[in-house]
Amino acid sequence: ARQGANLIIADFDIDGAQNTAAEVEALGVKAFAYKVDVSDPEAVEAMVAFAVEKLGTLTGVFNNAGISKVQSLLDMDPASYRRVIEVDQFSVYYGLYYGARKMVELGVKGVIVNTASIYGSVAAKGSFNYNAAKAAVIAMTRSGALELAEHGIRVAAVAPGFIDTPMMKNVPDEARAALAAQHVTNRLIAPEKVASVVAFLFSDAASAVNGSTVAADDGFLAFKV
């Protein structure tokens, strides 16, 4: 938004989306809130149509939905596994599929950015489904870039470390400290730091970044891979 982009703020939490849209509009651009379940392909298709209706075009898609639940593999029944895959992996496919098809239809050479994770590159106990989903996001970013290059559509991803989001406020101090200790600065990452990487990936300055996943992890992967 600070770079002048008009946005659709899509979320299952419509109140949160509306609050964010209001903050974005205060920057002098257009923003529309939209309620969506990104695990539903028809809902994602409708979201893309809504974006074009409101904005007149579609130049970028940010696939950023994600859920997780710490659970051992032996306790993870098929329904629990499937739910994380549906939200964290399938939603990215839907965003790529419907977003890219609309860009091609409109003749737009756009950009699609996916949110992966450090856990797409390394394993963590209790995150079997999340590890699988985020590894798939990294692979889809590579494959999507290859498939869509002929249409002038660029695909990239960001892999954040442990971010200091509102959800972290409910995490015990000891657990927060343990997560922060896995970063070289011994701090959780401010959301704005990851957002700045995403903004870069959407910009013309990142035109040579295609099929790559950029780590915004404060050194986490440098010592794990």
Rounded-to-integer distance, Cα 15 and Cα 186, Å: 33
Residue 4 confidence (pLDDT) = 85
For the residues 152-170, what does the mean pLDDT come to? 93
Rounded-to-integer distance, Cα 55 and Cα 114, Å: 21
Q: Where are the beta strands (DSSP E) in 25-96?
A: 31-35, 60-63
Note whether 128 and 185 are within 8 A (CB): no
Please provide the distance, in angstroms rounded to a whole number, between the alpha carbons at the two ends of the chain.
Answer: 34
Q: Is 97 a catalytic residue?
A: no
Q: Of the residues 34, 98, 119, 130, which is catalytic? A: 130
For the residues 169-176, what does the mean pLDDT come to? 89
For the residues 87-99, what does the mean pLDDT come to? 99
Residues whose CB is less than 8 angstroms from the CB of residue 196 and which lie 6 or more positions away in sequence, other chains included: none
Neighbouring C-beta atoms of residue 148, cutoff 10 Å: 22
> Each residue of 32-82: pLDDT tens digit?
999 999 999 999 999 999 999 999 999 999 999 999 989 999 999 999 999
pLDDT above 90: percentage of residues in the chain: 92
The superfamily in CATH containing domain 59-223 is NAD(P)-binding Rossmann-like Domain (3.40.50.720)
Q: Please tell me the pTM assigned to this model.
A: 0.95
